[in-house]
Chain A
């Protein structure tokens, strides 16, 4: 039973989030500004914080910085601002993830679950289990011996081509592969205009391992150049 601290100055949003999270089996603590959130986090053990950025008094950014002083619990920021600069600022001061308003409830649940898994069960174990055939990045774990892939502990079933693409990308995190290169290496064939096939496969792969395929965390599209595995 995880306790999730919700903080937003809009009471309706707080109670909606409360309904979704409680229905998923989480315990929630509802707060309505930064000061209250900090106080609640001190008073009781909290496993995850869902916090709005724009709040009167202490805003989400400052509250995050304050929380980070003595805790590394996962913090997900909710923001109505979709400016890139705001996202970068939030992540830089120690937030683990962000969700832009208006959000999709399913996405919120997925992100909460992902963060909790990584924080509680996988946080320490991923490194221990790293064997000679095991590749990990963030919440992704690929065991080449068993040919199995898990994301945040959840097993994911991939087609052989998808598996090989993921393997290629995981082996070279941060490197950009063009569609032609991926085709040659995975299909073991010279590419003759079949590159959009690669793009389709990668999209399918993304849909399986990303929470929000439209803004992926792991497999990033470098437009005009190719694809890469973001090193997390």
Chain B
């Protein structure tokens, strides 16, 4: 706590010192600069600023006197006040009253008009340095020359000159009247007129030369005398004052830098907590500071005027010190708080403007969230119309405004496209796709977020399904594997039993049942694995170009005996040319194998099985038709469901998986499998994509 206080006290001291040196340095610098020549040139009083200033004042008096005297010489009517002025100026400029010396001559002839020199003296010897100047003096009683005017002669391509004479009459002059025009000071220059005041005979004109300077040595006690005395005094203190100024300024700069360095930081360099002053909104602070400084400047103005007029007085000096300290305080504190704010990174954040913008933004947001879209669109449209009306009043703003509106609309369109593309991605099989909602309009962003959520839900569901399918396939494979081992033993031991001598015919028939049923169990487990593999797509399919006719013929070769045994005839209809399809030979064989063994199992004895092969619509089509032995009272769809057989009693052999497997296998090869039932006619159509023609052999 004590340390903290010390730190604070040290900072406060630093601050006060910086302020003090700043104010002192400011005034000292100001003074030094006003006396810069005195300090720097070191050539003495006659070359100093104060001497030149005093001399300038006297020169103005001399000019005025010279002009009045010239009027008097021309015999112009002078007023009473003019006469009084002449005598005042004469006495003020008299050689016994001032150290200012001057002489006035006609610039053309050099004739002396007036001087305040001692009798017989010339200006060169009487003053320290002679300065010379000229004064034009014009007397035009009725000011007629300023009423002259030109008229453009369109026909001749030059100006006609109308000269106004002293009696008020106008005279037209053309270039032909050059001699007359010259009297009035005009010369023709091709197409216009040049006027020279000194050549105009209508008025009095003369140029006076004034030579002036300050007597050296000084003879009387006037302002020059006082100036010389002051100068002597300044000259003694100025070098010390200059050094002091430099020291003060340097100290002020150093202290300020030190303050800047430590501003907003603690002794160990970590950022200090913001003070209340640093929390005042920046723009408010700037406004307050500017007001305060303006007020202080206005208040200080009369003080400086008074100081100039009367010289340093204690109360004035104290007043000015207070005012300048106030201004210094404002500036220094502003500088330090700016640094603190920059370091804390909230220069812009802590402003009233920003707060205002934010609350407006929040208000708009609230409106955009709570208002229905149609109302917002109407309001936006009305705003657009208002903007159009306002900007149409000016030529420049209209395209800028319409361009900006177009840009906003285009942005909307681009964002809308982004949303649509995202939707397509999600629908096209990438449900995990996320639409980028950054920088989108509120409504679109909301829509996009909902789509993202939807996609997430879908991808979750898809994953879930894939996982459960795979789990099911694995389960079936594993279970059937576990079934196979005991089944092997059953089959083997039933077989062994059958080989043992058993006398009891009853036992023989029981054994027969066991044998039959265990064979059926074997078939069932095998089909179960096949079906699960085919339907979950874990089978790998190698598509090749192969002949459908060839395959069917090969298959018929395999089935020939069995069909003969069931008294079935096959009527096959082949196309003239081979039908080449793109399929996996082994899997397609299993499809046909399933179909033909189905025929074998379920066809009414003594009937015919019709086979047809054809190609149409880019598909190789294989059709099997047979007459069912049992009544088919099930819809075709259900026939393909697993474990459903044509006879609901399930008396015959077969697992009921045949059609399901065949369909799954066909679909794996990108084919279609359609069952039609018409009374007892059972018809299956298998379509497989045709293979493209093979590349011609390379020669």
Contact = CB atoms under 8 A, between A and B. Distances in A.
B574 A193 contact: yes
B588 A199 contact: no
A-B pairs with lowest CB-CB distance, top 4 = A199-B557, A224-B546, A223-B585, A16-B492
Contacts of B492: 12-13, 16-17, 20, 105
B548 interface: yes
Contacts of A101: 484-485, 487-488
A134 interface: no
B560 interface: yes
25 contacts: A16-B489, A16-B492, A16-B493, A19-B496, A20-B492, A80-B481, A82-B526, A101-B487, A102-B484, A102-B487, A102-B488, A105-B495, A179-B554, A195-B550, A196-B572, A199-B553, A199-B554, A199-B555, A199-B557, A203-B558, A221-B554, A223-B554, A223-B586, A223-B589, A224-B548
A174 B556 CA distance: 23
Contact of A226 (B485, B496, B526, B550): B550
Given A102-B484, A224-B551, A203 B493 contact: no
Nearest to B549: A195
B491 A102 contact: yes
Contact of A13 (B485, B544, B558, B585): B485
Contacts of B105: none
Contacts of A202: 557
Interface of A: 10, 12-13, 16-17, 19-20, 54, 80-82, 101-105, 178-179, 193, 195-196, 198-203, 221-227
Contacts of A203: 557-558, 560-561
Interface in B549-601: 550-551, 553-558, 560-561, 572, 574, 581, 583, 585-586, 588-589
A222 B585 contact: yes
B547 interface: yes
Given A16-B493, A102-B522, A225-B546, A82 B554 contact: no
Contact of A224 (B488, B495, B550, B560): B550
Interface in B309-358: none
Contacts of A82: 526, 529
A201 B560 CA distance: 10
B484 A199 contact: no
Of B487, B495, B496, B553, most buried by chain A (CB within 10 Å of CB) is B553
Nearest to A224: B546
Contacts of B487: 101-102
Given A12-B493, A178-B550, A224 B583 contact: yes
A107 B457 CA distance: 54
Nearest to B593: A223
A7 to B, nearest CB: 14
Contacts of B547: 178, 224-225
Contacts of B484: 80, 101-102
Given A178-B547, A223-B586, A225-B547, 17 more contacts: A10-B485, A13-B485, A13-B488, A17-B492, A54-B481, A80-B488, A101-B487, A102-B488, A102-B522, A179-B550, A193-B574, A199-B555, A199-B560, A202-B557, A222-B585, A223-B585, A224-B550
Nearest to B495: A105
Interface residues of B, number: 36
Interface of B: 481, 484-485, 487-489, 491-493, 495-496, 522, 526, 529, 544, 546-548, 550-551, 553-558, 560-561, 572, 574, 581, 583, 585-586, 588-589
A16 B488 CA distance: 10
A40 B561 CA distance: 47
Given A80-B484, A102-B484, A196-B560, A223 B553 contact: no
Contacts of A54: 481
A199 B544 CA distance: 21
Contacts of A81: 481
A14 to B, nearest CB: 10
A20 B556 CA distance: 36
Contact of B557 (A12, A102, A178, A200): A200
B488 A103 contact: yes
A231 to B, nearest CB: 19
A19 B500 CA distance: 12
Given A10-B485, A16-B489, A101-B488, A195 B560 contact: no
Nearest to B489: A12
A87 B547 CA distance: 28
Contacts of B491: 102, 104
Nearest to A52: B485
A164 to B, nearest CB: 17
Contacts of A105: 492, 495
Nearest to A78: B488
A179 B547 CA distance: 11
Of B484, B526, B574, B586, most buried by chain A (CB within 10 Å of CB) is B484
Of A12, A101, A102, A227, most buried by chain B (CB within 10 Å of CB) is A102
B557 A198 contact: yes
Contacts of B581: 224
Contacts of B561: 200, 203
A196 B495 contact: no
Contacts of A226: 550, 554
A198 B572 CA distance: 16
Nearest to B492: A16
Nearest to B556: A196
B264 to A, nearest CB: 72
Contacts of A17: 492
Contacts of A195: 550, 553
Contacts of A227: 554
Contacts of A201: 557
